[in-house]
Amino acid sequence: MKSDRSAGKVTLADVGRVANVSAITVSRALRKPEMVSPKLRQRIEEVVAELGYVPDPVARALASDRTDVIGVLIPSVTNSVFADVLRGIYSVVEGSPFSVQFGNTRYSVLEEERLLRIFLSQRPAGLIVSGIDQSEASTALLTQARCPVVQIMETGPAPVDMMVGFSHRDAAHDATRHLIDGGYRRIAFFGARMDPRTQRRLEGYTQAVKDAGLFDESLMITTPRASTVELGCQMLSDLLARTQDVEAIFCNNDDLALGVLFECQRRRIAVPDDIGLCGFNDLEMMAVANPPITSVRTFRQEMGRRAAEMVLMRVAGEEVPEPVVDLRYELMARQSTRACEEGRRRRVP
C-alpha cells in the first residue's frame, strides 16, 4: 500500500508496474526515447497517457542535481524598463521546457546577495542578473556558480561570464551632445533614483558639458527618490525657482521628461523653443506626446531575449559565439529638441 503522504500521485513506478517494465525504463522512455525499443516506448506512452502521469520536477531536481529554472534578478518589478526585459526573456523561454523565476532586489546590493544565495541553492539552469555592480560576495558566488550567468542592462570591463547591455555613459554623452549640437548651451540634468546606471548617465552628461565648456553644477538636480512624472514637474519648478537661465533639460528617464513637458505646458513654456527636452529609454508615449519628445532608445526586450538565448545555448552544451554583446542605443531626435536656426538664445537675458 502506498503511503498516504503522496496523496494518490501517479509515479514512474506506477507507470512501470502497469506497463510491465521498470521505473527507470519509463524514465528513459520519456527523457531519451531513442534509448528504448519502439515496442516498449509505445506501450509506455500509452500507459503514461492512461494514468495521467506527470513528472515530478522536485524529485527530478534532487536526483539529477539540476532544475529547468532560470533565475532572474531585477531591481524593480514596477519599472517598465525591466518589464520589457522580462518580456524579452519570456519570449524565448516560453517555447522551451524551462521556466523563469525572478527575484526583486529593490536596487539593494545586499538584497541581491541574499537572493543570489537562495537562487543558487535551488540549482538553477542559468542566472540572469542586472547590472555590473554586484557586491564582492555576489561576484564570488556568481563566479563559482555551476551554471551559465548573464549580466544584462549594461556593459562593463569584467564580465563574470556572459553579458548583454550597452554603455549608459556613452548614451547619455551622445544625448547631451545632441542638445549641444542643437545650439542649446544652458543644459540641465534631472536624475532620480541615482542607481549605478543613472550615475553613469550623469557622468556621460557631465563629460559632454565639460568638454563643451558648458558645465554648471547648479543645473544638476538629482534625488534618491524613484522617478515619477510628478517628480519631473517638481524638478522643473524647483529649477525655475532658482534660475530662469535654462535652455534645455536632459532627463535621466522618460517619466521625468513627461513631467517636465506637462509642467512646461502649464507654464506656457514652449518646447522646444523656450526649453529643449530629452528623455531616456524611449517609452512608447514619447513619440506621440505633444510635441514628440526626443529620447534615447534602448533595446530592452532584445537584451532579455539575447540573455535568455545565451543561457539556453550554454545549457544545451553549445558554445555561445558572442558571449559579450553591446547592443548600443539609438538617439530618437524629435521635435522637443529642434534647435533654432541661428543658434539658441537664452530665454532670459
The residue ranges that bind DNA (CB under 7 A) are: 2-3, 5-6, 9, 11-13, 20-25, 27-28, 30-31, 34-37, 39-41, 53, 55-56, 59-60, 62-65
Out of 23, 61, 240, 333, which residue is the one contacting a second copy (CB under 8 A)?
A: 61
Distance of alpha carbon 178 from alpha carbon 208, whole angstroms: 10
| Interface segment toward a second copy; rule CB under 8 A; list 147-155, 213-221, 284-292, 340-348 | 284-292
Out of 22, 122, 218, 243, which residue is the one contacting a second copy (CB under 8 A)?
A: 122
Strand, coil or helix: what is 100? strand
Residues 6+ positions from 303 with CB-CB distance below 8 Å: 85, 88, 152, 153, 164, 165, 327
Residues 6+ positions from 315 with CB-CB distance below 8 Å: 98, 125, 126, 147, 148
| Interface segment toward a second copy; rule CB under 8 A; list 37-45, 100-108, 197-205, 273-281 | 100-108
> Alpha-carbon dihedral of residues 104, 324, 156, 133, nearest 10 degrees?
20
**Window 222 to 241, contacts with a second copy (CB under 8 A):** 228-230, 233
The yes or no reply on residue 49 touching a second copy (CB under 8 A) is no
The yes or no reply on residue 35 touching a second copy (CB under 8 A) is no
In whole angstroms, how close is the CB of 200 to DNA at the nearest point? 40
Q: Which is nearer to a second copy, 43 or 267 (CB)?
A: 267
In whole angstroms, how close is the CB of 98 to DNA at the nearest point? 14
Distance of alpha carbon 232 from alpha carbon 265, whole angstroms: 13
Choose among 336, 347, 343, 346: nearest CA to 181: 343
Which of a second copy, DNA, none interacts with 210 (beta carbon under 5 to 8 A by kind)?
Answer: none
β-pairing verdict for 329-332 and 220-222:
unpaired
Q: Which is nearer to a second copy, 144 or 319 (CB)?
A: 144
Out of 17, 123, 297, 338, which residue is the one contacting a second copy (CB under 8 A)?
A: 123
φ/ψ (deg, to 5) at 277? -140, 130
Number of other residues whose CB lies within 10 A of the CB of residue 290: 10
φ/ψ (deg, to 5) at 214? -115, 10
The yes or no reply on residue 218 touching a second copy (CB under 8 A) is no
Chain residues binding a second copy by CB under 8 A are 5-7, 54-59, 61-62, 65, 67, 77-78, 80, 83-84, 86-87, 90, 94, 99-104, 117-118, 121-123, 146, 228-230, 233, 255, 258-259, 262-263, 265-266, 284-285, 287-290
